[in-house]
Structure 1
Amino acid sequence: MKELLIASNNEGKIKEFRKLFQAFNIHVSSLRDLENPIDIPETGTTFHENAQLKSEGISTRFGKMVIADDSGLVIDALNGRPGIISARFAGSEKNDSKNIDKVLDELKNVPMLKRTARFVCVLAISAPGVQTQFVEGVCEGIITEERIGDQGFGYDPIFYLPGLGKTMAELTSEEKNKISHRAIAMQKLMDVLPKWMEGES
């Protein structure tokens, strides 16, 4: 059985990846399963650069197939912020509630029609001796004026999906895994993974 290391300590992301990979005969582990912690500085200026830094850095160190993602919330009225600093928007402690508060505060005078936003997810999959593959998923939405729903994580409670009439935090995990930016990126990954793994084997 092949092994895949998810380059994340985020329990929400790890659960999503494990559910999405159930169809493959692949043993999935994460950074939480390692004896010695590893931290790859996200010094890139784009989602692609940060995903590549993590996937290639960890793959080289452990000699394993690695998937890393860099994802975030891009808000048009904030000129693309928080973008690549989405997890640290309100500070280095990566506090979801404080991040949401900061977004809502910066958008407090912005009308709903101009609160358009999107979740972006870039996945990089790397393995020793194989060229890194990238896929990207995007989910369009609108930032609400208050928190709605208690599912998911991150900015989900303020990310409204017009087509569904719900925020991301009102969706079940099964519903979210059909339409989320990460789910879209994962589906694209599934399309390229078999051919990519031929070079990895």
Structure 2
Amino acid sequence: MKRYDLMIATKNLNKVKEIKKIITGYDVNIMTFIDFPQMPDVVEDGSTIEENSKKKAIETAKYTGLVSIADDTGLFVDAINGEPGVFSARWAGEDATYMDNNKKLIEKLSGFKYEERTATFRCAITLAMPSGFFVTEVGEIKGYIIDQLRGENGFGYDPLFYLPEYKKTFAEMDMDLKNRISHRAIALSRIGAVIKKVIENGKI
């Protein structure tokens, strides 16, 4: 069976680490934007996370000539009309850090009771072929936004996203647990069959 180069369209090493763990077992050589420093940035100007993941995967596959996976993730908080949503990564500004975004979220939800702080993490993952053919899958998980940072693991909004059934935030979980239950894990498990088909048959 041919070993495949699989392109993950990101420079975010935290994201690469999560995806690598989740797709362990597939006979693939993982590559990222770090391996293609000359590739122009893909402008994520879609109105949904699905549009952004599709655009990034298709443009990356065409540029690199490799089967490519791209994801876009959003945190949708009910009390603030679904914000930050598709703007989650740059909610506090174009150069915002994780801490900047978390501080803004804490401020926005000031005064809201715990039961009013419901939120959904959604992840859209697109696998695209250099031909332009693509498949998109979505995973989501529901939780609550707490009012202070908890935990040292994970990244992004993980220290504020609390799952009552585990009595932990994402940032308090070990990677193995998070990689079994997260929105990204759900989306990747759904697209895993597509990856396997590509590896075995060379096409979707």
Aligned sequence identity (%): 36
Query: Any unmatched runs of 5+ in structure 1?
Result: none
Deviations 1:121-179 (A, max 9, x none): 00000012252001101011100010111110000000000110100000011111011
CA contact 2:62–2:132 (8 Å) conserved in 1? no
Residue aligning to 1:128: 130
Check 1:36–1:135 CA distance in 2 against 1; reply closer, same or farther (3 A cut): same
Residue aligning to 1:53: 55
Measure, in 1, the Cα distance between the counterparts of 2:99 and 2:162.
Answer: 17
Q: Does 1:191 align with 2:188?
A: no
- Which of 1 and 2 has higher RCO (CA within 8 Å, sep 6+)? 2
Match of 1:157, SS state, is: coil
Match of 2:96, SS state, is: coil
CA contact 2:61–2:132 (8 Å) conserved in 1? no
User: What's the RMSD between the two structures over aligned residues?
Assistant: 1.4
Paired AA for residue 184 in structure 2: R
How far did residue 37 of structure 1 move?
Answer: 4.3
How far did residue 189 of structure 1 move?
Answer: 0.9
Residue aligning to 1:100: 102
Paired AA for residue 203 in structure 2: E
Q: Which residue of 120, 124, 135 corresponds with 1:118? A: 120
Measure, in 2, the Cα distance between the counterparts of 1:88 and 1:159.
Answer: 18
Residue aligning to 1:9: 11
User: As a proportion of its length, which structure holds more helix?
Assistant: 1
Query: Any unmatched runs of 5+ in structure 2?
Result: none
CA contact 1:130–1:200 (8 Å) conserved in 2? no
Match of 1:22, SS state, is: coil
Measure, in 2, the Cα distance between the counterparts of 1:48 and 1:145.
Answer: 29
Q: Which residue of 140, 150, 162 corresponds with 2:152? A: 150
Q: Which residue of 75, 78, 92 corresponds with 1:76? A: 78
Residue aligning to 1:200: 203
Q: TM-score, normalised by structure 2?
A: 0.94
Q: Which residue of 36, 39, 53 corresponds with 2:38? A: 36
Measure, in 2, the Cα distance between the counterparts of 1:87 and 1:99.
Answer: 8
Give the paired residue count.
201
Paired AA for residue 200 in structure 1: K
CA contact 2:26–2:196 (8 Å) conserved in 1? no
Paired AA for residue 57 in structure 1: E
Deviations 1:92-113 (A, max 9, x none): 1131001000000000011111
